[in-house]
Amino acid sequence: MTGKSCSLTSQEILDTYFLENRARLLEIASFLDRLDRAADAGEARGEYRRRAFEKALALLLEPGGGAHQGDPAPVQRPEQRAHRERVGAQGDRRLGRRKCG
């Protein structure tokens, strides 16, 4: 990130927000562990929400991944994606919805 938009120093940010964000990471690790230990763990691996979650984690691990890089892709259920592919943007206009972006 080239522009600086935060008035806090790095040390102030760490002092203020480290513990709450560490707790969030532990909560995510616990969530993933519960998924892996579930009786039907193999079935969840291909589930669209898990794939989206893992994709988001992978993006965060990339260099500069914490920086905001446009709007995040929405998580869509498979049936939503299929409907949008069939209907397309024309369906949104007919329903009075404007495409954002």
pLDDT in tens, 59-94: 988 887 766 555 556 666 666 666 666 666 555 555
pTM of the prediction? 0.56
- One-letter amino acid for residue 77 of the chain: R
Q: Cα Rg for the chain, rounded, in angstroms?
A: 19
The torsion angles phi and psi of 36, rounded to 5 degrees, stand at: -65, -30
Rounded to an integer, what distance in angstroms lies between the CA atom of residue 59 and that of residue 27?
19
Say if residues 35 and 44 touch (Cβ distance below 8 Å).
yes
pLDDT band at 42 (very low <50, low <70, confident <90, very high): confident
